């Protein structure tokens, strides 16, 4: 309202002279308004996009830092959990080792027992052999002495007796047949 | 048409006080330089533009030439902004004054030449003689090359002055013609007005291009001499 009134007043009183500059100004105005209407939003969006990119970059740095720190925390927790579990691992390993030692000990015990048994068996067999030898020797000696003690007379008597017995026996057999 | 055609090119005075210094300093207000990461749209777009232009303009220089980056960038910004602001009605464009353009061109050109002579004396002197000239032509060619070297700053200044002044004059003339023709034959006035619009678009382009050309040539002289 004020603008229109002021403009008309200035025009009528020739305070604002209409000369070639007015026309020049009018043409500049038309070109400027057209350009701004047409390209204004695009330029604004472009400027906003530039700023968005800057903010996004900074945000990305921040997010990456936060994520890496969170990852570090999670890894740390996992390591702590692993440390707790380590005790069970050590117990299992310890009992494993104990079992191995036990088995080894038993094996060696068995080995020792077998060796000792072998030695003792050897002694036993040795004694058996000696005993048998002695027995045989004694039997031989007894036989030898008996045979030596048998006189000729006794031999004849025994042989005659044997023949008589045989005859009796043969007779008995013939009878049975 | 109360004043003559060249009234807009006189030193602007307000009640007898020369305010031309204020007018020259004014465009610097339009380029904010905040220290934040995320700025408003104006600052962001300006930042992006300056980055683009500086990258293109300084890509051909070596390290020594790239120390002139600030000078060249402020040059193109100053000339571009003053030229564009001069298209508004009743405004004064400092770059229409030959005195100012000479004041910009001569020191810059002299700087490049002196730098070239100091650092690469032999190569700078060798510029005076193009390769492969036949022997009898050498003296004349040296004279011609010297003249062309000394004409460079004058050409820079006069080119800028003449282009901007001519553009402004054309706008005023055609504006005046449209104004007069409006009473006589409105249709012709309309055609003239359309011509004026086209001219304004041209002048916008010329404003920017002149800035670019000025800076480019300075950078070219720099490239020769670093």
Q: Tens of pLDDT along B126-145?
A: 777 777 777 888 888 888 88
> Mean pLDDT highest for which of A126-130, B89-93, B125-129, B176-180?
A126-130
Cβ atoms < 10 Å from Cβ of A46: 15
Task: Specify the pLDDT at position B3.
Answer: 58
Most confident listed range (A127-131, A146-150, B178-182, B213-217):
A127-131
- Helix H or strand E segment including B92: none
Residue B16: its pLDDT value, please? 46
Q: Where are the domains of chain B?
A: 1-225
The average pLDDT across A148-175 equals 86
Q: Which residues of A12-30 are buried (b: 16+ CB within 10 A; e: fewer)?
A: eeeeeeebbbbbbbbbbee
**Which residues of chain A lie closer than 8 angstroms to B2, CB-CB?**
17, 19
Instruction: Looking at the complex, report in whole angstroms how far the Cα of residue B166 sits from the nearest Cα belonging to chain A.
Output: 14
Residue A132 has a pLDDT of: 95
A19: nearest CB among B1, B48, B88: B1
Q: Identify which of B11, B205, B209 has the alpha carbon closest to the alpha carbon of residue B96.
A: B11
The pLDDT, as a whole number, for residue B1 is 44
State chain A's mean pLDDT as an integer: 89
pLDDT for position B13 = 52
Of the listed ranges A27-31, B91-95, B179-183, B218-222, the one predicted with least confidence: B218-222
| B200: contact with A, CB 8 A cutoff | yes
- Among the ranges given (B41-50, B105-114, B152-161, B197-206), the one the predictor scored with the smallest mean pLDDT: B197-206
State the pLDDT confidence band at A145, using cuts at 50, 70 and 90: confident
Tally the C-alpha atoms within 13 A of residue A63's C-alpha that lie toward its C-beta. Answer: 6
Q: Check residues B172 and B8 and name the one with the higher pLDDT.
A: B172
pLDDT, average across residues A24-30: 84
pLDDT band at B4 (very low <50, low <70, confident <90, very high): low
- Residue A174 has φ and ψ, to the nearest 5°, of -60, -35
Structure confidence at residue B225 (pLDDT): 67
Rounded Cα distance between B208 and B210, Å, is 6
Write out chain B residues lying below 8 Å of A53, CB-based.
Answer: none
The confidence band for B15, taking pLDDT boundaries of 50, 70 and 90, is very low
Cα B128 to chain center, whole Å?
Answer: 27
> Average of pLDDT values for B172-201?
80
B45 touches chain A (CB under 8 A): yes
Give the percent of chain A with pLDDT over 70: 100
Q: Considering only A48-57, A97-106, A164-173, B175-184, which range has the smallest mean pLDDT?
A: B175-184
CA distances B188 to A145, B87, B181, B182, Å, are 180, 24, 7, 8
pLDDT at B5: 60
Position with higher pLDDT, B168 vs A15: B168
Residues of B in contact with A47 (CB under 8 A): 41-42, 44-45, 48
Instruction: State how far the alpha carbon of B214 is from the alpha carbons of B30, B63, B110, in Å.
Output: 21, 21, 15
Q: In this predicted complex, what is the ipTM?
A: 0.74
Confidence of residue B226 (pLDDT cuts 50, 70, 90): low
pLDDT tens for residues B42-52?
Answer: 888 898 989 99
Q: What is the pLDDT of residues A61-76, one digit of tens each?
A: 999 999 999 999 999 9
pLDDT of residue B60: 79
Could you tell me which of B28, B25, B80 has the C-alpha nearest to residue B208?
B80
Residue B40 reports pLDDT greater than 80: yes
Token pair for A54 = 């800057």
Confidence grade of residue B166 (pLDDT, cut at 50, 70, 90): confident
Q: Which of B161, B176, B31, B148 is nearest to B99 (CA)?
A: B161
Question: Looking at A140-149, B58-67, B144-153, which range is the least confident one?
Answer: B58-67
CA B64 to chain centre: 24
pTM confidence score: 0.69
CB contact under 8 A, B179 and A20: yes
Predicted local distance difference test score (pLDDT) of residue B176: 81
CB B167 within 8 A of CB B8: no
β strands within chain B, DSSP E: 13-14, 17-18
Per-residue pLDDT band for B67 (boundaries 50, 70, 90) equals confident
For residue B134, give the 3-state DSSP assignment: coil
pLDDT reported for residue B17: 54
Q: Which residue is listed with tokens 């009992």?
A: A95
Q: Do the chains contact at B8 and A21, CB–CB below 8 Å? A: yes
Q: What is the mean pLDDT of residues A104-128?
A: 96
Tell me how far apart the alpha carbons of residues A127 and B26 are, in angstroms, rounded to a whole number: 135
Residue A103 pLDDT: 96
Q: In chain B, what residues touch A44 (CB-CB under 8 Å)? A: 41
Out of A72-76, A119-123, B219-223, which region has the weakest mean confidence (pLDDT)? B219-223
Tokens 């023709």 appear where? B181
């Amino acid at each position: 309202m004020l603008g229109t009134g002021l403009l008309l007043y200035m025009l009528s009183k020739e305070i604002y002279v209409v000369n070639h500059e007015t026309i020049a100004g009018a043409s500049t105005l038309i070109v400027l308004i057209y350009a701004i209407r047409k390209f204004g939003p695009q330029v604004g969006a472009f400027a906003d996009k530039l700023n968005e990119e800057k903010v996004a970059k900074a945000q990305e740095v921040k997010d990456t830092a936060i994520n890496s720190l969170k990852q570090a925390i999670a890894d740390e927790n996992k390591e702590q959990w692993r440390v707790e579990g380590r005790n069970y691992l050590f117990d299992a390993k310890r009992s494993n080792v104990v079992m191995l030692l036990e088995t080894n000990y038993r094996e060696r015990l068995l080995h020792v027992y077998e060796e000792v048994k072998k030695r003792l068996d050897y002694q036993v067999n040795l004694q058996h052999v000696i005993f048998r030898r002695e027995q045989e020797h004694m039997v031989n000696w007894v036989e030898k002495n008996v045979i030596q003690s048998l006189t000729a007379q006794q031999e004849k008597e025994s042989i005659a007796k044997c023949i008589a017995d045989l005859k009796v026996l043969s007779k008995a057999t013939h009878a049975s047949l | 048409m109360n004043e003559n055609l060249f009234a807009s090119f006189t030193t602007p005075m307000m009640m007898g006080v020369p305010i031309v210094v204020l007018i020259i300093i004014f465009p610097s207000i339009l380029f904010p330089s905040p220290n934040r990461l995320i700025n408003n749209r104006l600052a962001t777009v300006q930042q992006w533009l300056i980055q683009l232009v500086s990258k293109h303009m300084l890509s051909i220089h070596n390290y020594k030439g790239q120390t002139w980056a600030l000078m060249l960038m402020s040059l193109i910004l100053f000339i571009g902004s003053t030229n564009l602001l001069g298209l508004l009605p009743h405004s004064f464009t400092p770059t229409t004054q030959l005195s100012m353009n000479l004041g910009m061109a001569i020191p810059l050109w002299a700087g490049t030449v002196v730098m070239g002579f100091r650092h690469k004396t032999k190569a700078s002197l060798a510029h005076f003689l193009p390769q492969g000239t036949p022997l009898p032509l050498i003296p004349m060619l040296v004279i011609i090359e010297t003249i062309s070297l000394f004409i460079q700053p004058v050409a820079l200044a006069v080119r800028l002055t003449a282009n901007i002044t001519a553009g402004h004059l054309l706008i005023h003339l055609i504006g005046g013609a449209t104004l007069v023709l409006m009473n006589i034959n409105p249709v012709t006035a309309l055609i003239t007005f359309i011509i004026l619009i086209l001219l304004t678009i041209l002048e916008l382009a010329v404003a920017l291009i002149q800035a670019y050309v000025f800076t480019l040539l300075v950078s070219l002289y720099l490239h020769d001499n670093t």
